Amino acid sequence: MAKKEQDLQQVVENAIAEQKVPHVKFKGIDPKNIDVDRLTKPSKETRQEWWGRGLTFLAIILIGMLIVAIIGFVGMHGLATFIDNKVNIFHFLFSTDWNPGAGKNHVGAAAMIVTSFAVTLLAALIATPFSIAVALFMTEYESGKRVQLLQSVMELLVGIPSVVYGFIGLMVVVPAVRTIFGGTGFGILTATLILFVMVLPTITSLTVDAFKAIPKDLRKSSSALGATKWQTIYHVVLRAACSRIMTAIIFGMARAFGEALAVQMAIGNAVLMPYNLVSPAATLTSQLTSQMGNTVMGTLPNNALWSLALLLLIMSLVFNFLVHLIGKKS
Amino acid sequence: MTNVMEAKNVKLKYGNFEALHGISLAFPAQKLTALIGPSGCGKSTFLRCLNRMNDDIDDIKITGEILLEGKDIYHSHIDLVALRKKVGMVFQQPTPFPFSVFDNVAYGLRIAGVKDKELIEQRVEESLKQAAIWNETKDNLQRNALAFSGGQQQRICIARALAIRPEVVLLDEPTSALDPISSSEIEETLMALKQKYTFIMVTHNLQQASRVSDQVAFLMNGELIESGSTQEMFLSPKKEITNNYLNGRFG
């Protein structure tokens, strides 16, 4: 302690000796007045900082472990189909013969893969023009109360549980499709119509963000060059927002691809290659939800379902990757 | 000296607040008029009246007359699109559209329905040359306009405004977001272009006004205090307050 104080005294004396501006006095500074212990120990704030940082890192580590565990678990079981049960991976991807209970030569998921992509793409295809129209209305043509109302409606659409969508689909859309197109009313068309409403708010709100991100000056510059509102929208706003609209569509597709319950209630759940839009079919998710209670852990039918889950997981990674790719490009 | 544009007793109200209290000012052809004055004096608001950029604002009321070649631009028969083809505008921040230089400059022509490719190419080249940016862009016309520097972007914006051959070009502090070198390049560009176009420029930079303008109008609190030739205004202003402002005693 005495040593420290001496050191400090030395520093102060040196400073006084070296000072170039004579009228500045170091009077108030006396090593005896300084609590060296307090200054050399971590303060309360520093300790709080350590705590805060520690808690944050702990949370990150736990979540990281959880994610690794989920991926590992799904991967392990999903791959067991191919490793333990010796199912040919090409057979799994390209065969439409789905009857895992009958042995390893009957594990073909192609019908479900095709159906999943069909409902996803069709839903996005129908939803995108409407989303862009609604987003344009909300950002370019209207402001104030009506926009807020639309915003709340969109948020409401997001908040409706998928079982409710499924129920409405079952009670309204299925009979309607049955009446118009014949058949049972279950199928890709019905599922698409339900998914269209479900992805609409996702695509719309992200598209609204895309339009809002475009500087007002760009629109003004365009109108100052004699462009009408529609010309400005068509040539500047849509063009400038293009990559972000793509991102919005992909987020919508990810939602549609992963939706299980509402689709399961409306698609008919028959694992058949879809040759038209109004015959019963099954997606990866609908097959997973409808069959998971019917298999025994560790058996081939169970592992086959895990493989479907793995495929869904990989697809969601692909969607995320696409979003990043587009983000980087723009 | 003919006047291309003339404002007569222009008043502007936001709701109950009157921002411009009757401004009358004539803009001679092929001259550069600088609008100066302290922040919030209404000079940008007045500038935006001249090509009706204020029309979108809610609750706004503009009275008086603004004549362009003898016709009141606020008359109900005037087509906004046609007006803005005659009165172009360059903004404070460079605002190139996020696509190629060529498409940027060709934009005004294309939306006006010009299909003739040769004419568009010729106009683009001419306009870029006029805006003194041709040498920097001629080898990469297809490059995204956002990839250029701020000063270059602003000159691309000037070229874009010139491509539709306006009578009058409004400049809203065109150099305030730029570094001194880019600013002086823009000034040189304007000096050269004065032979062909009529410019009306809002600026905070008094030296800039004295360097490039032919006529200066001093606005304060929504009123036109004084206007006259640049030389007169800077050397022997008639009013004390103008003198004080120009000499940097306030503002």
* Cross-chain residue pair B161–A215, CB shorter than 8 Å: no
Q: Which residue has the higher pLDDT, A39 or B131?
A: B131
- B93 interface with A at CB cutoff 8 Å: yes
Query: What tokens does B147 get?
Result: 């990839």
In the predicted model, what is the mean pLDDT of residues A84-93?
90
Contacts of A220 in chain B (CB under 8 A): 53, 91, 95
In the predicted model, what is the mean pLDDT of residues B17-37?
91
Residue A184 and residue A178 in contact, taking contact as beta carbons nearer than 8 Å: yes
- Helices B150-162 and B101-111, interaxial angle, to 10°? 20
* Rounded Cα gap, residues B13 and B61, in angstroms: 5
Contacts of B161 in chain A (CB under 8 A): 224-225
| B84, B85, B109: best to mutate for the A interface, most A CBs within 10 A | B84
Q: Which of B193, B169, B167, B189 is nearest to B178 (CA)?
A: B189
Residue B215 has what pLDDT?
93
Domain count, chain B: 1
- State the burial class of residue B200 (Cβ atoms within 10 Å of its Cβ: 0-12, 13-18, 19+): buried
Residue B28 has what pLDDT?
92
- A227 interface with B at CB cutoff 8 Å: yes
Residue A20 has what pLDDT?
67
Neighbours of B224 (CB within 10 A): 23
pLDDT of B110 over the 80 cut: yes
- The residue range of the domain holding B132 is 3-246
- A239 interface with B at CB cutoff 8 Å: yes
In the predicted model, what is the mean pLDDT of residues B181-206?
90
Radius of gyration of chain B (CA): 18
* Rounded Cα gap, residues A145 and B94, in angstroms: 33
- A238 interface with B at CB cutoff 8 Å: no
pLDDT of A26 over the 70 cut: no
Query: What tokens does A244 get?
Result: 């972000």
Is residue B53, in this structure, part of any structural domain at all?
yes
For a pLDDT cut of 70, what percent of chain A falls above it? 94
Report residue A22's pLDDT band, with 50, 70 and 90 as the boundaries. low
Is residue B91, in this structure, part of any structural domain at all?
yes
B214-217: which pairs have CB atoms within 8 A and are 24 or more residues apart? B214/B28, B214/B31, B214/B32, B214/B33, B215/B27, B215/B28, B215/B31, B215/B32, B215/B33, B215/B34, B216/B33, B216/B34, B216/B36, B217/B25, B217/B33, B217/B34, B217/B35, B217/B36
Query: Nearest CA of chain A to the CA of B55: how many Å?
Result: 11
For a pLDDT cut of 90, what percent of chain A falls above it? 66
* Cross-chain residue pair A240–B112, CB shorter than 8 Å: no
- B59 interface with A at CB cutoff 8 Å: no
Q: Which of B146, B138, B63, B139 is nearest to B104 (CA)?
A: B146
- A218 interface with B at CB cutoff 8 Å: yes
Q: Which helix (H) or strand (E) holds B4?
A: strand B3-14
| Chain A contacts in chain B segment 96-125 (CB below 8 A) | 97-99, 107-108, 110-112
Neighbours of A321 (CB within 10 A): 11
| A225, A237, A243: best to mutate for the B interface, most B CBs within 10 A | A225
* Rounded Cα gap, residues A162 and B123, in angstroms: 57
* Cross-chain residue pair A225–B88, CB shorter than 8 Å: yes
Residue A104 has what pLDDT?
86
* Cross-chain residue pair B88–A224, CB shorter than 8 Å: yes
ipTM here: 0.86
Q: Using CA atoms of A47, A49, A54, A56 in order, give the dihedral in degrees to the nearest 10.
A: 160
In the predicted model, what is the mean pLDDT of residues B44-63?
88
* Cross-chain residue pair B81–A239, CB shorter than 8 Å: no
- A149 interface with B at CB cutoff 8 Å: no
pLDDT of B121 over the 60 cut: yes
Contacts of A224 in chain B (CB under 8 A): 51, 53, 84, 88-89, 91, 161
Residue A226 and residue B108 in contact, taking contact as beta carbons nearer than 8 Å: yes
Chain B residue with minimum CA distance to A217: B95
Residues belonging to chain A: 330
Report residue B46's pLDDT band, with 50, 70 and 90 as the boundaries. very high
Is residue B188, in this structure, part of any structural domain at all?
yes
* Rounded Cα gap, residues B215 and B205, in angstroms: 15
Q: pLDDT, tens digit, for every residue of A228-237?
A: 999 999 999 9
In the predicted model, what is the mean pLDDT of residues A2-22?
74
Residue A27 has what pLDDT?
59
Residue A313 has what pLDDT?
94
Residue B203 and residue B173 in contact, taking contact as beta carbons nearer than 8 Å: yes
Q: What is the CATH number of the domain that holds B110?
A: 3.40.50.300
Q: pLDDT, tens digit, for every residue of B208-243?
A: 999 999 999 999 998 999 999 999 999 988 888 998
Is residue B225, in this structure, part of any structural domain at all?
yes
Residue B5 and residue B66 in contact, taking contact as beta carbons nearer than 8 Å: yes
- A129 interface with B at CB cutoff 8 Å: no
Q: pLDDT, tens digit, for every residue of B137-172?
A: 989 899 999 999 988 999 999 999 999 999 999 999
Residue A28 has what pLDDT?
61
Report residue A15's pLDDT band, with 50, 70 and 90 as the boundaries. confident
Q: Which of B177, B174, B202 is nearest to B188 (CA)?
A: B174
- List chain A domain ranges: 2-87, 101-329
Mean pLDDT (chain B) is 90
* Cross-chain residue pair B81–A240, CB shorter than 8 Å: no
CATH no., domain A101-329: 1.10.3720.10
Mean pLDDT (chain A) is 89
Q: pLDDT, tens digit, for every residue of A277-308?
A: 899 999 999 999 999 888 888 889 999 999 99
Report residue B195's pLDDT band, with 50, 70 and 90 as the boundaries. confident
pLDDT of A16 over the 80 cut: no
pLDDT of B99 over the 60 cut: yes
pLDDT of A5 over the 80 cut: no
Residue with tokens 């709100």: A205
Chain B residue with minimum CA distance to A141: B56
* Cross-chain residue pair B95–A239, CB shorter than 8 Å: no
Residue A240: CB partners within 8 Å, gap ≥ 6? A214, A218, B97, B98
